[in-house]
Amino acid sequence: MREVLTQAYYWISAELTTLLGFGLAIVFFAYLIRQKRSPASTLAWLLVVILMPYVGVPLYIFFGGRKLRRMAARKAPVYAGSAHRTTPAIDLDTERLLRSFGIPEARPGNAVELLETGEEAYARMMELIDEARSSIYVTTFVLRDDDVGVALIGALALKASQGVKVRLLLDDVGSWWLRRRALAPLTRAGGRVAYFMPMFHLPFRGRTNLRNHRKLAIADGRTALAGGMNLASSYIGPYPNPERWRDLAVAIDGPAVEDLEWLFRSDWKFTTGEDLPASPRRPPQVPGERPPALVTRPGHAVVQVVASGPDVEGDALYESLLSLIFFARQRVWIATPYFVPDEMLVRALVLATRRGVDVRLIVPWKSNHPITDLAREGYIRELHEAGAEVLLYRPTMLHAKAVMFDDRLAVIGSANMDNRSLFLNYEVALYVFSTERVADVGRWMERLAAGCTIYEPKPGGIREIAENVLRLFAPLL
């Protein structure tokens, strides 16, 4: 009798567990279909929940959120209050498209300089901190307490002790391994540190998925660094390091910095509740002291600051890139560490190639995320077969994010060419309308190409099938 009851118990438990799992799956199906997702993303989540309901449902709880209404509503849109528009600085379809999303107009009169090495970026960061007189705002995805991180924290602490307003915003996932005591010198000196969207916080949903991937350093509201470089020795440093990742940043001085500071202040207020005032256009100067080196040269570049993420209505970054690919006439050159785009972006690049546009994609031979290397194979194979030039950068990890359109526009920022950056994370990009700076980006990409090998697809029907199966789940990466 006891054996019969035991068997009945296990049978009932198994049945109830199965029914519960599939019941949860049905609930999530209904919710998933209601969300504004791409068909590929919806299909990928449906497959995961159907095939592995006990794994798929928890994964969706933690990672499935996109532009969550409740969470996004807590953070004011970054472009709220910026509806005022002046005469456009340039007459381009791209600028008009971006303005339709509420993006501030492109601003003329900026000095823009490419920082091609970690040594250049480190020196300019230290210079920016040293010459700040009223405020220093820094946001980054990764800050480590290695030699570089300790030096930067020490420099920020010194400025805070001198009365400069120092605010450091870190992403809680990206800087997860940073020891809190490493920040003590800065907080003791009067600076403030905050973590964007902490992981251990109720409700959990979406906090793992929606990360602040923006990288900015802003001094006195008129000088800034932006791009893809995090604050660690893998990215920047005072001395050359052959193992350092290849990355790209820009130093910018001029009116566009106001838009970058606006973005930081919005992120900071959401994280801490502190409402930072806008910096004055001309920070106080010490009598008899030379003006900061970064702001003495005139600028002629037109720059538009484009943010993306849950705090921006729509997908301005993605849709503008898509539009630019369709309208390119000469070339579309892309450098990105991870290439896992959506189907529409790939088709746009394929069509551009077929109509004679010089499409070039530069990715690392092997990135720091093997799963994304596997997921990209189907996409780069399709580009290669269409006639695009796919190059694999071999000397070290390529972490730079830049796109070049013809000879008139370069897009440099924090966003990778993947679904996570284009549709989930908080990102920022600079649209630089300047033939001189675009030419600089072109020469930089040519130097990258010199360290690359040409992609050659590996033969095998089974491999192609595996690539296409993995492509189904690529929107989840």
Instruction: Please report, rounded to a whole number, the percentage of residues in the chain having pLDDT higher than 90.
Output: 60
Q: Are residues 110 and 247 in the same domain?
A: yes
- Which H or E element spans position 4? helix 2-34
Across the range 159-169, mean pLDDT stands at 97
220 in the same domain as 265: yes
**Does 24 have pLDDT greater than 80?**
no
The answer to whether residue 220 sits within a structural domain is yes
| Inside any domain, residue 57 | yes
Of 25, 16, 19, 14, whose CA–CA distance to 51 is shortest? 25
Higher pLDDT, 459 or 229: 229
Of 259, 399, 418, 440, the active-site residue reads 399
Active-site residue identified among 159, 171, 215, 259: 215
Active site residue 406: yes
In a domain, 88, yes or no: no
pLDDT of residue 471: 63
Of 59 and 242, the one with more pLDDT: 242
179 and 125 housed in the same domain? yes
Same domain, 277 and 362: no
Answer with the one of 299, 325, 344 that is the final residue of a domain. 299
Q: Using a cut of 0.75, tell me whether the model's pTM lies above it.
A: yes
Domain-located, residue 73: no
- Is the per-residue pLDDT at 89 higher than 80? no
331 inside domain: yes
Can you give the CATH number for the domain in which 407 is found?
Answer: 3.30.870.10
**Whether residue 293 is found in the same domain as residue 328:** no
- Considering the domain architecture, whether residues 190 and 322 belong to the same structural domain is answered as no
Are residues 219 and 275 both part of a single domain? yes
What pLDDT shows up at residue 352? 97
Task: Give how many domains the chain has, as a whole number.
Answer: 3
Q: Is 401 an annotated catalytic residue? A: yes
Tokens of 460: 């095998």
pLDDT at 195 over 90: yes
pLDDT in tens, 411-452: 999 999 998 899 889 999 999 999 999 999 999 999 999 999
Helix (H) or strand (E) holding 21: helix 2-34
Catalytic residue among 213, 267, 311, 418: 213
Residue 291 lies in a domain: yes
Confidence at 84, pLDDT banded by 50, 70, 90: very low
Print the domain residue range for 18: 2-64
Please report whether residue 393 resides in a domain: yes
Task: Check: CB of residue 241 under 8 Å from CB of residue 232.
Answer: no
Same-domain status, 339 and 191 = no
Considering the candidates 159, 373, 401, 440, report the single residue annotated as catalytic.
401
For residue 215, indicate whether it is catalytic: yes
The reported pLDDT for the residue numbered 154 is: 97
Q: Which of 120-124, 176-180, 285-289 has the highest mean pLDDT?
A: 120-124
Output the average pLDDT for the chain: 83
- Helix boundaries (H) for 310-421: 316-327, 343-354, 370-386, 419
